[in-house]
Structure 1
Amino acid sequence: MPRQPSTSAAPPGNRVQVIDRAMFLLDVLMRMPRGASALELAQATELDRTTVHRVLRTLAFWGMVQAREGIYALGPKCLVLGTAQHDRLGIRRAALPHAIELQEKGVGRRRAIVSISVPALDEVVIIERIWAPSVPLNIITDIGTHFPLDASVSGRAILAAWPRERGIAHVGEERYAAASDRLEAIRAARGLSFGLSEMRPGVGTLACPVFGRGGEAVAALIVAGLALEEELDPEAPLAQHALRSAASISAVLRAS
Protein backbone atom coordinates (compact mmCIF):
# COMPACT_ATOMS: atom_id res chain seq x y z
CA MET A 1 0.00 0.00 0.00
CA PRO A 2 1.39 3.45 -0.83
CA ARG A 3 2.24 5.76 2.03
CA GLN A 4 0.25 8.88 2.75
CA PRO A 5 1.88 11.90 1.14
CA SER A 6 3.24 14.52 3.48
CA THR A 7 2.93 18.21 2.67
CA SER A 8 5.98 18.84 4.85
CA ALA A 9 8.10 17.10 2.18
CA ALA A 10 7.71 20.10 -0.13
CA PRO A 11 8.29 23.81 0.53
CA PRO A 12 5.17 25.73 1.66
CA GLY A 13 2.99 26.78 -1.24
CA ASN A 14 4.36 24.14 -3.62
CA ARG A 15 1.57 21.60 -3.01
CA VAL A 16 -2.13 21.68 -2.20
CA GLN A 17 -3.18 19.34 0.59
CA VAL A 18 -6.61 18.47 -0.81
CA ILE A 19 -5.08 17.55 -4.18
CA ASP A 20 -2.48 15.41 -2.37
CA ARG A 21 -5.33 13.59 -0.66
CA ALA A 22 -7.30 13.14 -3.87
CA MET A 23 -4.28 11.70 -5.68
CA PHE A 24 -3.53 9.46 -2.71
CA LEU A 25 -7.07 8.06 -2.78
CA LEU A 26 -6.84 7.44 -6.53
CA ASP A 27 -3.51 5.66 -6.07
CA VAL A 28 -5.01 3.39 -3.40
CA LEU A 29 -8.10 2.67 -5.53
CA MET A 30 -5.87 1.78 -8.48
CA ARG A 31 -4.50 -1.09 -6.40
CA MET A 32 -7.99 -2.29 -5.40
CA PRO A 33 -9.51 -3.74 -8.61
CA ARG A 34 -12.76 -4.66 -6.81
CA GLY A 35 -13.11 -1.21 -5.31
CA ALA A 36 -13.56 -0.20 -1.68
CA SER A 37 -16.01 1.54 0.62
CA ALA A 38 -15.32 4.98 2.04
CA LEU A 39 -14.63 3.37 5.41
CA GLU A 40 -12.10 0.95 3.90
CA LEU A 41 -10.41 3.83 2.09
CA ALA A 42 -10.27 5.87 5.29
CA GLN A 43 -8.64 2.94 7.08
CA ALA A 44 -6.21 2.28 4.22
CA THR A 45 -5.13 5.91 3.93
CA GLU A 46 -5.44 6.87 7.61
CA LEU A 47 -7.45 9.90 6.51
CA ASP A 48 -10.53 11.16 8.35
CA ARG A 49 -13.66 9.45 7.03
CA THR A 50 -15.46 12.78 6.55
CA THR A 51 -12.52 14.04 4.49
CA VAL A 52 -12.54 10.85 2.41
CA HIS A 53 -16.29 11.24 1.71
CA ARG A 54 -15.82 14.87 0.64
CA VAL A 55 -12.89 14.11 -1.66
CA LEU A 56 -14.68 11.10 -3.18
CA ARG A 57 -17.77 13.18 -3.96
CA THR A 58 -15.60 15.71 -5.81
CA LEU A 59 -13.73 12.98 -7.70
CA ALA A 60 -17.07 11.39 -8.63
CA PHE A 61 -18.29 14.73 -10.02
CA TRP A 62 -15.28 14.78 -12.37
CA GLY A 63 -15.67 11.13 -13.31
CA MET A 64 -12.40 10.12 -11.68
CA VAL A 65 -14.23 7.64 -9.42
CA GLN A 66 -17.61 5.96 -9.64
CA ALA A 67 -19.71 4.39 -6.90
CA ARG A 68 -22.14 1.49 -6.87
CA GLU A 69 -23.90 0.41 -3.67
CA GLY A 70 -21.34 2.26 -1.57
CA ILE A 71 -18.28 0.74 -3.29
CA TYR A 72 -15.94 3.15 -5.04
CA ALA A 73 -13.73 2.31 -8.04
CA LEU A 74 -11.77 4.27 -10.61
CA GLY A 75 -14.02 6.16 -13.00
CA PRO A 76 -14.11 6.53 -16.79
CA LYS A 77 -12.21 9.82 -16.76
CA CYS A 78 -9.10 7.92 -15.62
CA LEU A 79 -9.26 5.87 -18.82
CA VAL A 80 -9.66 9.01 -20.94
CA LEU A 81 -6.68 10.70 -19.30
CA GLY A 82 -4.49 7.60 -19.45
CA THR A 83 -5.26 7.00 -23.11
CA ALA A 84 -4.60 10.65 -23.94
CA GLN A 85 -1.23 10.51 -22.21
CA HIS A 86 0.18 7.53 -24.12
CA ASP A 87 -1.44 8.69 -27.38
CA ARG A 88 0.46 11.96 -26.94
CA LEU A 89 3.73 10.02 -26.68
CA GLY A 90 3.01 8.26 -30.00
CA ILE A 91 4.79 5.10 -28.85
CA ARG A 92 1.98 2.65 -29.51
CA ARG A 93 1.41 3.99 -33.03
CA ALA A 94 5.11 3.80 -33.87
CA ALA A 95 5.63 0.39 -32.28
CA LEU A 96 2.60 -1.54 -33.48
CA PRO A 97 3.74 -2.47 -37.04
CA HIS A 98 7.12 -3.67 -35.76
CA ALA A 99 5.56 -5.55 -32.85
CA ILE A 100 3.26 -7.34 -35.29
CA GLU A 101 6.24 -8.23 -37.49
CA LEU A 102 8.13 -9.53 -34.45
CA GLN A 103 5.14 -11.66 -33.46
CA GLU A 104 4.66 -13.11 -36.94
CA LYS A 105 8.27 -13.65 -38.03
CA GLY A 106 10.26 -13.73 -34.80
CA VAL A 107 7.93 -15.51 -32.39
CA GLY A 108 6.20 -17.54 -35.09
CA ARG A 109 4.67 -20.74 -33.72
CA ARG A 110 6.07 -20.29 -30.24
CA ARG A 111 3.54 -19.89 -27.45
CA ALA A 112 4.58 -16.33 -26.68
CA ILE A 113 3.17 -12.82 -26.60
CA VAL A 114 4.74 -9.55 -27.74
CA SER A 115 4.05 -6.53 -25.52
CA ILE A 116 4.99 -2.87 -25.21
CA SER A 117 5.42 -1.16 -21.84
CA VAL A 118 6.11 2.44 -20.87
CA PRO A 119 7.49 3.88 -17.61
CA ALA A 120 5.12 5.61 -15.22
CA LEU A 121 6.80 6.99 -12.07
CA ASP A 122 8.39 3.92 -10.40
CA GLU A 123 6.50 1.36 -12.51
CA VAL A 124 6.06 0.20 -16.09
CA VAL A 125 2.60 -0.14 -17.64
CA ILE A 126 1.59 -2.45 -20.50
CA ILE A 127 0.02 -0.37 -23.30
CA GLU A 128 -0.20 -2.99 -26.07
CA ARG A 129 0.11 -6.75 -26.62
CA ILE A 130 -0.14 -9.11 -29.60
CA TRP A 131 -0.48 -12.87 -29.57
CA ALA A 132 -1.43 -15.87 -31.69
CA PRO A 133 -4.47 -18.10 -31.00
CA SER A 134 -2.21 -20.88 -29.71
CA VAL A 135 -1.00 -18.80 -26.75
CA PRO A 136 -2.48 -19.93 -23.39
CA LEU A 137 -4.78 -17.27 -21.97
CA ASN A 138 -3.11 -17.40 -18.56
CA ILE A 139 0.12 -15.86 -19.91
CA ILE A 140 -1.57 -12.95 -21.70
CA THR A 141 -0.96 -9.77 -19.73
CA ASP A 142 -3.81 -7.27 -19.71
CA ILE A 143 -3.33 -3.76 -21.03
CA GLY A 144 -2.90 -1.49 -18.04
CA THR A 145 -1.08 -4.10 -15.95
CA HIS A 146 1.77 -2.43 -14.09
CA PHE A 147 5.00 -3.77 -12.59
CA PRO A 148 7.79 -2.16 -10.54
CA LEU A 149 10.55 -0.66 -12.69
CA ASP A 150 13.26 -2.41 -10.70
CA ALA A 151 11.49 -5.75 -10.24
CA SER A 152 10.32 -6.58 -13.76
CA VAL A 153 12.13 -7.63 -16.91
CA SER A 154 10.86 -4.74 -19.03
CA GLY A 155 11.27 -2.23 -16.22
CA ARG A 156 14.92 -3.15 -15.75
CA ALA A 157 15.51 -2.85 -19.51
CA ILE A 158 14.40 0.78 -19.30
CA LEU A 159 16.12 1.45 -16.00
CA ALA A 160 19.46 0.11 -17.29
CA ALA A 161 19.26 2.45 -20.28
CA TRP A 162 18.70 5.56 -18.18
CA PRO A 163 21.44 7.62 -16.55
CA ARG A 164 21.93 6.62 -12.92
CA GLU A 165 20.53 9.92 -11.63
CA ARG A 166 17.28 9.49 -13.51
CA GLY A 167 16.91 5.91 -12.31
CA ILE A 168 17.38 6.97 -8.70
CA ALA A 169 14.86 9.78 -9.18
CA HIS A 170 12.26 7.18 -10.18
CA VAL A 171 12.89 4.32 -7.75
CA GLY A 172 15.06 5.77 -4.99
CA GLU A 173 18.65 5.00 -4.02
CA GLU A 174 17.88 1.82 -2.06
CA ARG A 175 15.89 0.10 -4.82
CA TYR A 176 18.37 1.23 -7.48
CA ALA A 177 21.30 -0.14 -5.49
CA ALA A 178 19.53 -3.47 -4.96
CA ALA A 179 19.05 -3.82 -8.74
CA SER A 180 22.47 -2.48 -9.75
CA ASP A 181 24.09 -5.87 -10.49
CA ARG A 182 21.22 -6.87 -12.76
CA LEU A 183 21.32 -3.49 -14.49
CA GLU A 184 25.03 -3.93 -15.22
CA ALA A 185 24.33 -7.37 -16.68
CA ILE A 186 21.67 -5.84 -18.96
CA ARG A 187 24.10 -3.16 -20.18
CA ALA A 188 26.69 -5.86 -20.89
CA ALA A 189 24.03 -7.75 -22.91
CA ARG A 190 23.52 -4.73 -25.22
CA GLY A 191 20.36 -3.68 -23.40
CA LEU A 192 18.64 -7.07 -23.36
CA SER A 193 16.91 -7.97 -20.11
CA PHE A 194 15.96 -11.56 -19.30
CA GLY A 195 13.88 -13.35 -16.71
CA LEU A 196 12.47 -16.82 -16.11
CA SER A 197 9.38 -17.52 -13.98
CA GLU A 198 9.24 -13.91 -12.76
CA MET A 199 5.77 -13.21 -14.10
CA ARG A 200 4.37 -16.74 -13.90
CA PRO A 201 5.98 -20.18 -13.37
CA GLY A 202 7.65 -21.43 -16.54
CA VAL A 203 7.25 -18.15 -18.43
CA GLY A 204 10.45 -16.81 -19.96
CA THR A 205 10.70 -13.10 -20.74
CA LEU A 206 13.07 -10.95 -22.74
CA ALA A 207 12.88 -7.19 -23.19
CA CYS A 208 14.87 -4.39 -24.75
CA PRO A 209 14.54 -0.60 -24.56
CA VAL A 210 13.01 1.68 -27.16
CA PHE A 211 14.53 5.16 -27.45
CA GLY A 212 12.70 8.40 -28.18
CA ARG A 213 13.63 11.63 -29.89
CA GLY A 214 15.81 12.81 -27.01
CA GLY A 215 17.84 9.59 -26.97
CA GLU A 216 16.42 8.33 -23.64
CA ALA A 217 14.55 5.07 -23.17
CA VAL A 218 10.81 5.72 -23.40
CA ALA A 219 9.45 2.17 -23.65
CA ALA A 220 10.35 -1.51 -23.73
CA LEU A 221 9.58 -4.18 -26.31
CA ILE A 222 8.83 -7.51 -24.63
CA VAL A 223 8.49 -11.15 -25.63
CA ALA A 224 7.12 -13.49 -22.97
CA GLY A 225 6.04 -17.09 -23.28
CA LEU A 226 6.54 -20.77 -22.61
CA ALA A 227 9.60 -22.84 -23.56
CA LEU A 228 11.73 -19.76 -24.23
CA GLU A 229 14.73 -20.80 -22.13
CA GLU A 230 17.02 -21.19 -25.16
CA GLU A 231 16.08 -17.67 -26.35
CA LEU A 232 17.09 -15.97 -23.10
CA ASP A 233 20.56 -15.19 -24.42
CA PRO A 234 21.89 -12.08 -26.20
CA GLU A 235 22.96 -14.15 -29.23
CA ALA A 236 19.70 -16.11 -29.58
CA PRO A 237 17.75 -15.48 -32.81
CA LEU A 238 14.63 -14.23 -31.05
CA ALA A 239 16.62 -11.85 -28.84
CA GLN A 240 18.40 -10.48 -31.89
CA HIS A 241 15.10 -10.07 -33.73
CA ALA A 242 13.68 -8.15 -30.75
CA LEU A 243 16.71 -5.84 -30.76
CA ARG A 244 16.23 -5.09 -34.46
CA SER A 245 12.53 -4.41 -33.95
CA ALA A 246 13.25 -2.08 -31.03
CA ALA A 247 15.81 -0.23 -33.15
CA SER A 248 13.24 0.21 -35.94
CA ILE A 249 10.69 1.62 -33.47
CA SER A 250 13.32 3.97 -32.07
CA ALA A 251 14.10 5.23 -35.58
CA VAL A 252 10.42 6.03 -36.16
CA LEU A 253 10.16 7.88 -32.84
CA ARG A 254 13.33 9.89 -33.51
CA ALA A 255 12.01 10.93 -36.91
CA SER A 256 8.58 11.97 -35.65
Structure 2
Amino acid sequence: MLRPPSAPAAHSGNRVQVIDRAMTLLDILMRTPRGASALELAQATGLDRTTVHRVLRTLAHWGMVQAREGTYTLGPKCLVLGTAHHDRLGIRRAALPHAIELQEKGVGKRRAVVSISVPALDEVVIIERIWTPSVPLNIIADIGTHFPLDASVSGRAILAAWPAEKGAAHIGAERYAAVSEKLETIRAGHGISFALSEMRPGVGTLACPIYGRDGEAVAALIVAGLALEDELRPDSPLAQHARRSAASISATLQAG
Protein backbone atom coordinates (compact mmCIF):
# COMPACT_ATOMS: atom_id res chain seq x y z
CA MET A 1 0.00 0.00 0.00
CA LEU A 2 1.35 3.40 -0.99
CA ARG A 3 1.76 5.94 1.78
CA PRO A 4 1.92 9.73 1.43
CA PRO A 5 5.26 11.25 2.47
CA SER A 6 5.67 13.14 5.71
CA ALA A 7 5.97 16.89 5.25
CA PRO A 8 9.56 18.18 5.71
CA ALA A 9 10.26 19.38 9.23
CA ALA A 10 11.49 22.74 7.93
CA HIS A 11 8.97 24.54 5.72
CA SER A 12 7.67 27.98 4.98
CA GLY A 13 4.25 29.44 4.28
CA ASN A 14 2.91 30.85 1.00
CA ARG A 15 3.69 27.68 -0.93
CA VAL A 16 2.26 27.01 -4.40
CA GLN A 17 -0.33 24.26 -4.11
CA VAL A 18 0.28 22.62 -7.48
CA ILE A 19 4.02 22.41 -6.80
CA ASP A 20 3.31 20.84 -3.41
CA ARG A 21 1.16 18.25 -5.18
CA ALA A 22 3.83 17.55 -7.79
CA MET A 23 6.50 17.10 -5.12
CA THR A 24 4.22 14.78 -3.15
CA LEU A 25 3.73 12.56 -6.20
CA LEU A 26 7.47 12.55 -6.94
CA ASP A 27 8.25 11.63 -3.33
CA ILE A 28 5.88 8.66 -3.44
CA LEU A 29 7.32 7.46 -6.76
CA MET A 30 10.85 7.80 -5.34
CA ARG A 31 9.86 5.33 -2.63
CA THR A 32 8.02 3.00 -5.01
CA PRO A 33 10.55 1.47 -7.44
CA ARG A 34 7.88 -0.63 -9.16
CA GLY A 35 5.94 2.53 -9.98
CA ALA A 36 2.28 3.33 -9.41
CA SER A 37 -0.86 4.05 -11.38
CA ALA A 38 -2.67 7.38 -11.28
CA LEU A 39 -5.45 5.70 -9.28
CA GLU A 40 -2.96 4.41 -6.68
CA LEU A 41 -1.38 7.84 -6.41
CA ALA A 42 -4.79 9.46 -6.02
CA GLN A 43 -5.71 7.03 -3.26
CA ALA A 44 -2.38 7.55 -1.46
CA THR A 45 -2.60 11.33 -1.54
CA GLY A 46 -6.35 11.91 -1.29
CA LEU A 47 -6.19 14.02 -4.44
CA ASP A 48 -8.79 13.89 -7.19
CA ARG A 49 -7.75 11.46 -9.92
CA THR A 50 -8.20 14.13 -12.61
CA THR A 51 -5.86 16.43 -10.71
CA VAL A 52 -3.29 13.63 -10.39
CA HIS A 53 -3.49 13.00 -14.14
CA ARG A 54 -2.91 16.69 -14.94
CA VAL A 55 0.09 16.93 -12.62
CA LEU A 56 1.57 13.70 -13.98
CA ARG A 57 1.18 14.85 -17.58
CA THR A 58 3.06 18.05 -16.77
CA LEU A 59 5.79 16.15 -14.94
CA ALA A 60 6.06 13.76 -17.91
CA HIS A 61 6.46 16.73 -20.26
CA TRP A 62 9.52 17.81 -18.26
CA GLY A 63 10.91 14.28 -18.00
CA MET A 64 10.38 14.08 -14.24
CA VAL A 65 8.14 11.02 -14.61
CA GLN A 66 7.60 8.46 -17.33
CA ALA A 67 4.65 6.19 -18.00
CA ARG A 68 4.40 2.68 -19.38
CA GLU A 69 1.10 0.83 -19.66
CA GLY A 70 -0.50 3.10 -17.11
CA THR A 71 2.29 2.79 -14.52
CA TYR A 72 4.28 5.89 -13.59
CA THR A 73 7.89 5.88 -12.43
CA LEU A 74 10.50 8.58 -11.94
CA GLY A 75 11.85 9.97 -15.20
CA PRO A 76 15.39 10.64 -16.46
CA LYS A 77 15.31 14.35 -15.57
CA CYS A 78 15.38 13.36 -11.89
CA LEU A 79 18.80 11.77 -12.44
CA VAL A 80 20.08 14.88 -14.21
CA LEU A 81 18.91 17.17 -11.41
CA GLY A 82 20.22 14.92 -8.64
CA THR A 83 23.62 14.61 -10.29
CA ALA A 84 23.78 18.37 -10.85
CA HIS A 85 23.08 18.97 -7.16
CA HIS A 86 25.91 16.87 -5.76
CA ASP A 87 28.26 17.97 -8.55
CA ARG A 88 27.65 21.56 -7.45
CA LEU A 89 28.55 20.65 -3.89
CA GLY A 90 31.87 19.20 -5.07
CA ILE A 91 31.90 16.64 -2.27
CA ARG A 92 32.38 13.53 -4.37
CA ARG A 93 35.29 15.06 -6.29
CA ALA A 94 37.00 16.20 -3.10
CA ALA A 95 36.36 12.96 -1.24
CA LEU A 96 37.23 10.33 -3.82
CA PRO A 97 41.06 10.33 -3.50
CA HIS A 98 40.86 10.14 0.29
CA ALA A 99 38.15 7.48 0.22
CA ILE A 100 40.31 5.35 -2.09
CA GLU A 101 43.30 5.78 0.22
CA LEU A 102 41.14 4.78 3.22
CA GLN A 103 39.94 1.68 1.37
CA GLU A 104 43.45 0.64 0.37
CA LYS A 105 45.40 1.45 3.55
CA GLY A 106 42.81 1.67 6.31
CA VAL A 107 40.37 -1.07 5.38
CA GLY A 108 42.97 -3.20 3.61
CA LYS A 109 41.93 -6.84 3.37
CA ARG A 110 38.86 -6.46 5.55
CA ARG A 111 35.54 -7.17 3.85
CA ALA A 112 34.28 -3.60 4.11
CA VAL A 113 32.98 -0.78 1.93
CA VAL A 114 33.94 2.90 2.08
CA SER A 115 31.04 5.23 1.22
CA ILE A 116 30.15 8.91 1.12
CA SER A 117 26.69 10.17 2.08
CA VAL A 118 25.14 13.63 2.00
CA PRO A 119 22.09 14.97 3.85
CA ALA A 120 18.87 15.60 1.93
CA LEU A 121 16.10 17.08 4.10
CA ASP A 122 15.52 14.44 6.81
CA GLU A 123 17.58 11.70 5.12
CA VAL A 124 21.09 10.88 3.99
CA VAL A 125 21.82 9.64 0.47
CA ILE A 126 24.77 7.50 -0.66
CA ILE A 127 26.60 9.29 -3.50
CA GLU A 128 29.76 7.13 -3.76
CA ARG A 129 31.13 3.79 -2.56
CA ILE A 130 34.38 1.85 -3.02
CA TRP A 131 34.93 -1.83 -2.33
CA THR A 132 37.09 -4.83 -3.24
CA PRO A 133 36.04 -8.15 -4.81
CA SER A 134 36.13 -9.86 -1.41
CA VAL A 135 33.18 -7.81 -0.12
CA PRO A 136 29.82 -9.65 -0.23
CA LEU A 137 27.47 -7.89 -2.61
CA ASN A 138 24.60 -7.93 -0.11
CA ILE A 139 26.35 -5.41 2.15
CA ILE A 140 27.06 -2.88 -0.61
CA ALA A 141 24.49 -0.08 -0.63
CA ASP A 142 23.65 1.22 -4.10
CA ILE A 143 24.38 4.82 -5.01
CA GLY A 144 21.16 6.68 -4.35
CA THR A 145 20.18 4.53 -1.35
CA HIS A 146 18.73 6.77 1.33
CA PHE A 147 18.29 6.37 5.09
CA PRO A 148 16.70 8.55 7.80
CA LEU A 149 19.15 11.02 9.34
CA ASP A 150 18.29 9.88 12.86
CA ALA A 151 18.17 6.14 12.10
CA SER A 152 21.49 5.69 10.30
CA VAL A 153 25.12 5.80 11.38
CA SER A 154 26.15 8.45 8.86
CA GLY A 155 23.03 10.50 9.49
CA ARG A 156 23.70 10.63 13.22
CA ALA A 157 27.33 11.62 12.59
CA ILE A 158 26.06 14.62 10.64
CA LEU A 159 23.33 15.44 13.17
CA ALA A 160 25.84 15.34 16.04
CA ALA A 161 28.04 17.84 14.19
CA TRP A 162 25.18 20.27 13.53
CA PRO A 163 23.83 22.80 16.03
CA ALA A 164 20.75 21.40 17.77
CA GLU A 165 18.49 23.98 16.09
CA LYS A 166 19.57 22.88 12.61
CA GLY A 167 19.16 19.20 13.43
CA ALA A 168 15.67 19.73 14.86
CA ALA A 169 14.72 21.79 11.81
CA HIS A 170 15.64 18.87 9.54
CA ILE A 171 14.00 15.99 11.40
CA GLY A 172 11.58 17.68 13.78
CA ALA A 173 11.84 18.33 17.49
CA GLU A 174 10.33 14.98 18.52
CA ARG A 175 12.70 12.85 16.46
CA TYR A 176 15.65 14.99 17.53
CA ALA A 177 14.80 14.58 21.21
CA ALA A 178 14.52 10.81 20.77
CA VAL A 179 18.04 10.57 19.36
CA SER A 180 19.70 13.29 21.45
CA GLU A 181 21.35 10.85 23.88
CA LYS A 182 23.02 9.01 20.99
CA LEU A 183 24.21 12.33 19.57
CA GLU A 184 25.84 13.25 22.87
CA THR A 185 27.68 9.91 22.85
CA ILE A 186 28.94 10.65 19.33
CA ARG A 187 30.15 14.12 20.32
CA ALA A 188 31.97 12.63 23.30
CA GLY A 189 33.63 10.10 20.96
CA HIS A 190 35.37 12.68 18.75
CA GLY A 191 32.35 12.94 16.43
CA ILE A 192 32.54 9.34 15.19
CA SER A 193 29.28 7.40 14.99
CA PHE A 194 29.15 3.59 15.40
CA ALA A 195 26.62 0.79 15.07
CA LEU A 196 26.55 -2.99 14.77
CA SER A 197 23.84 -4.88 12.88
CA GLU A 198 21.75 -1.72 12.44
CA MET A 199 21.08 -2.05 8.72
CA ARG A 200 22.12 -5.66 8.13
CA PRO A 201 22.93 -8.48 10.61
CA GLY A 202 26.64 -8.71 11.43
CA VAL A 203 27.58 -5.50 9.61
CA GLY A 204 29.58 -3.01 11.68
CA THR A 205 29.53 0.63 10.61
CA LEU A 206 31.42 3.77 11.56
CA ALA A 207 31.02 7.26 10.14
CA CYS A 208 32.80 10.61 10.47
CA PRO A 209 31.40 14.01 9.49
CA ILE A 210 32.86 16.01 6.61
CA TYR A 211 32.80 19.80 6.95
CA GLY A 212 32.24 22.33 4.16
CA ARG A 213 33.33 25.92 3.63
CA ASP A 214 31.01 27.33 6.29
CA GLY A 215 32.37 24.93 8.91
CA GLU A 216 29.16 22.88 9.14
CA ALA A 217 28.87 19.18 8.31
CA VAL A 218 27.90 18.60 4.67
CA ALA A 219 28.56 14.86 4.33
CA ALA A 220 29.81 11.75 6.09
CA LEU A 221 32.61 9.28 5.36
CA ILE A 222 31.49 5.73 6.14
CA VAL A 223 33.15 2.35 6.59
CA ALA A 224 30.79 -0.63 6.76
CA GLY A 225 31.64 -4.32 6.69
CA LEU A 226 31.94 -7.68 8.37
CA ALA A 227 34.08 -8.56 11.42
CA LEU A 228 34.54 -4.92 12.42
CA GLU A 229 33.43 -5.31 16.03
CA ASP A 230 36.90 -4.54 17.41
CA GLU A 231 37.07 -1.33 15.36
CA LEU A 232 33.82 0.19 16.62
CA ARG A 233 35.36 2.54 19.17
CA PRO A 234 36.84 6.05 18.85
CA ASP A 235 40.45 5.00 19.51
CA SER A 236 40.59 2.05 17.10
CA PRO A 237 43.11 2.26 14.23
CA LEU A 238 40.36 2.14 11.58
CA ALA A 239 38.26 4.82 13.30
CA GLN A 240 41.27 7.10 13.61
CA HIS A 241 42.23 6.53 9.97
CA ALA A 242 38.67 7.36 8.89
CA ARG A 243 38.72 10.48 11.04
CA ARG A 244 41.96 11.67 9.42
CA SER A 245 40.54 10.98 5.97
CA ALA A 246 37.39 12.94 6.76
CA ALA A 247 39.54 15.82 8.03
CA SER A 248 41.53 15.79 4.79
CA ILE A 249 38.34 15.90 2.72
CA SER A 250 37.07 18.78 4.87
CA ALA A 251 40.32 20.67 4.31
CA THR A 252 40.00 20.20 0.54
CA LEU A 253 36.43 21.51 0.56
CA GLN A 254 37.30 24.47 2.75
CA ALA A 255 40.21 25.38 0.50
CA GLY A 256 37.73 25.70 -2.36
TM-score of Structure 1 vs Structure 2, range by shorter chain = over 0.9
The separation in 1 between residues aligned to 2:54 and 2:7, in whole angstroms, is 18
Counterpart residue number, 2:236: 236
Kept in 2, the 8 Å contact 1:129–1:143? The answer is yes
- Post-superposition offset of 1:45: 1.1
Counterpart residue number, 2:84: 84
CA pair 120-5 structure 1, distance change in 2 beyond 3 A: closer
SS in 1 for 2:190: coil
SS in 2 for 1:67: strand
Counterpart residue number, 1:126: 126
Counterpart residue number, 1:74: 74
Counterpart residue number, 1:167: 167
Find out whether 1:19 has 2:19 as its counterpart.
yes
The separation in 1 between residues aligned to 2:86 and 2:162, in whole angstroms, is 20
Counterpart mapping for 1:49-198 below 5 A = 49-198=49-198
The separation in 2 between residues aligned to 1:219 and 1:3, in whole angstroms, is 24
Structure 2: gaps spanning 5 or more residues: none
Instruction: Tell me the matched-pair count.
Output: 252
Counterpart residue number, 2:227: 227
SS in 2 for 1:124: strand
SS in 1 for 2:58: helix
Counterpart residue number, 1:33: 33
**Superposed CA RMSD:** 1.3
- Post-superposition offset of 1:2: 3.8
Letter in 2 for 1:23: M
- Render the CA deviation track for 1:134-184: whole Å, top value 9, x for unaligned: 000000000000000001000000000000000000000000000000000
- Render the CA deviation track for 1:20-51: whole Å, top value 9, x for unaligned: 10011000110001101111111111111111
- Deviating above 6 A after TM superposition, structure 1's stretches of 4 or more consecutive aligned residues are none
- Render the CA deviation track for 1:180-221: whole Å, top value 9, x for unaligned: 000000000000000011110000000000000100000000
Kept in 1, the 8 Å contact 2:4–2:44? The answer is no
Structure with higher RCO (Cα < 8 A, 6+ apart): 2
Structure 1: gaps spanning 5 or more residues: none
The separation in 1 between residues aligned to 2:12 and 2:125, in whole angstroms, is 27
CA pair 195-77 structure 1, distance change in 2 beyond 3 A: same
How high is the TM-score relative to the length of structure 1? 0.96
The separation in 1 between residues aligned to 2:52 and 2:172, in whole angstroms, is 29
Counterpart mapping for 1:200-215 below 5 A = 200-215=200-215
The separation in 2 between residues aligned to 1:2 and 1:114, in whole angstroms, is 33
- Post-superposition offset of 1:3: 4.3
The separation in 2 between residues aligned to 1:190 and 1:123, in whole angstroms, is 22
Letter in 1 for 2:54: R
The separation in 1 between residues aligned to 2:165 and 2:12, in whole angstroms, is 20
SS in 1 for 2:79: helix
- Post-superposition offset of 1:5: 5.8
- Post-superposition offset of 1:15: 1.2
